[in-house]
Chains A and B, each alone.
Chain A
Amino acid sequence: MTAIPLLEVDSVSVTYPNGHRAVIHSSFSVKAGQRMGLVGESGSGKSSLARAILGLAPVSSGQLRIGGQSIQQTDPHSRKRRAKQVQMVFQDPYHSLNPRRTILQAISEALQVQDRHFSRSELEKESANLLEKVHLEPSALYRFPHQFSGGQRQRISIARALAPKPKILVCDEAVSALDVTTQFSIVQLLRKISESDNIALLFITHDIPLIEHICEDIIVLEQGKIIEAGPVASVFKNPQTAKTRYLLESVLRLP
């Protein structure tokens, strides 16, 4: 048993420059390899919390630590070190991919976060391997982001986020636009990688059934506050708050 959790979110608040507080004194921790679901209504602060972990949202109070070390420094060296540890698949794949870079350039850049040298052909090979994992052909390497479908862009973002072999992968609605078969195989992939490489997942989704497939634990956010947390099975079976019950009940199932 390790004493220190991999990620510690310690009474964190996120306050935007316009004064809006999107996350309010939230605390939780994630162990190495642990898969945690994060759910809540639209606007409840999920993406803000995720971006704070990446150093991309203004943390107004509290502490964020990875492996016991504070991650609030924003100098380039600290950023690079953080990139090796935490990667994120953003909710809006269109905006998170640079339109002027080919997929090969985008993934290569992410690969080079690792402390090793890659030759050009190694970059191509590694990038093609990553694409294959998300069911895309190697020919995709030489195309630009706008030349793909929405779901393909989501998959490219996943491949890129896996490239630096992070310890924590934050997935913000990362598979929401995918059809069930593709979605399921990507979710299996994430689960497998999480198990084999001991990667922790913070998995944000509105898709409640998906949480059951991938996560062990779940956090429910409402208006910036954590209102419920615990193992998926017990929260689903016995939700403690009306809001959680409501989120669970409104799933559209087939008659």
Chain B
Amino acid sequence: MISANGIAPPALAFRDLSVTYCGNSSETLALDSFSAEIFPGKIFALVGESGSGKSSAGFAAGGLLPASNTRITGEISIENSPISASDASALQKKCGRQIGFVFQEPSTALHPAIRIQTQVAESIHSSLSHSQKRDRVAELLRSVQLTPDARLLKAYPHHLSGGMQQRVVIAMAMANQPSVLIADEPTTALDPTIRKEILELIRSLAVQHRSGVLLITHDFGIVSHFADEVAVLLRGKVVESGSTQEILSSPSHPYTQTLIASARGTANISHP
């Protein structure tokens, strides 16, 4: 789908998304008019402090924000079809087909009472024969550096280490080569070696399948190596955004400067 000016439309776009969580006594404005465009083939990093609203943006795109006591305004556009951000069921329908999700806490994405083999097989949408499916499951698990032996295939999620669970979730999110991948801190539980390999895998999904990737991370080292674009969130507001190159070479916001300095290992960080 190429538009008149020759630029493909974004795989995923947020337009003026605001999310407010309403408690008994207080309200939290988690996102304040958040806008971003994630293009096919690109990795868009969303960075920011703990509690700045990153996961809320990811959840909103999937129609996964809590239904009660949440006020949502704005629009989400998936592959050029705009949907009201408050229309959770429309978003969920679209999301199931076109968005792969890696949640920040992997155990929340796995069914505790279903064996790994079955869960991964169920995440594959295409109709395959029994043996083709088994091969595909093995292939997916190998792609995230897991050995598809009997122990792993027959395991329940709680039999796996944190990083292994995280990788199973990544394998499932990639199973259908989604046109959009939302990966929320996908490598926090992984050692540096595997971390790099997983990020390479995500990059190859973007490049080979023209998927748009929203990569939520707090690590500017990862951003510098893997992201094409980056937006910095601070208390629900984007304070800075642009190409990774630009932001790295001339960060304008003090918070971005702190993030970058700390990733270089040059900063003596103190709490702002």
Contact = CB atoms under 8 A, between A and B. Distances in A.
B50 A178 contact: yes
B167 A177 contact: no
B151 A18 contact: yes
Interface residues of A, number: 53
B68 to A, nearest CB: 12
A43 B50 contact: no
B37 interface: no
Contacts of A180: 218-220, 258-259, 262-263, 269
B159 to A, nearest CB: 7
A184 B263 CA distance: 12
B47 to A, nearest CB: 7
Given A20-B151, A42-B191, A177-B104, A147 B269 contact: no
Interface in B91-134: 104-108
A100 to B, nearest CB: 16
A147 B23 contact: yes
B188 A250 contact: no
Interface string B178-189: 000000110011
Given A94-B107, A176-B188, A252-B192, A185 B50 contact: no
A179 B49 contact: yes
Interface in A22-59: 39-43, 46-48
B270 interface: yes
A190 B225 CA distance: 30
Nearest to B188: A176
A253 to B, nearest CB: 6
Nearest to A180: B262
Residue of B49, B51, B221, B270 ringed by the most chain A CB atoms within 10 A? B51
B222 interface: yes
A141 B106 CA distance: 25
Contacts, number: 155
Given A42-B167, A152-B51, A180-B269, A208 B161 contact: no
* Interface residue range, chain B: 35 or more
A255 interface: yes
Contacts of A228: none
B23 A91 contact: no
Interface in B168-207: 184-185, 188-196
Contacts of B21: 147
A93 interface: yes
Interface of B: 21, 23-26, 47-52, 54-55, 66, 104-108, 151, 155, 159-164, 167, 184-185, 188-196, 218-222, 224-225, 248, 258-260, 262-265, 269-272
Given A42-B190, A151-B50, 16 more contacts: A42-B161, A42-B164, A43-B163, A47-B162, A95-B105, A143-B23, A149-B55, A177-B104, A179-B47, A180-B262, A180-B269, A247-B193, A250-B195, A252-B195, A253-B263, A253-B264
Interface of A: 16, 18, 20, 39-43, 46-48, 91-95, 135, 139, 142-143, 146-155, 172-173, 176-185, 206, 208-209, 246-247, 250-255
17 contacts: A20-B151, A46-B161, A92-B162, A94-B108, A95-B107, A142-B24, A143-B23, A149-B50, A176-B189, A177-B188, A179-B47, A180-B218, A181-B49, A181-B258, A184-B270, A247-B191, A254-B263
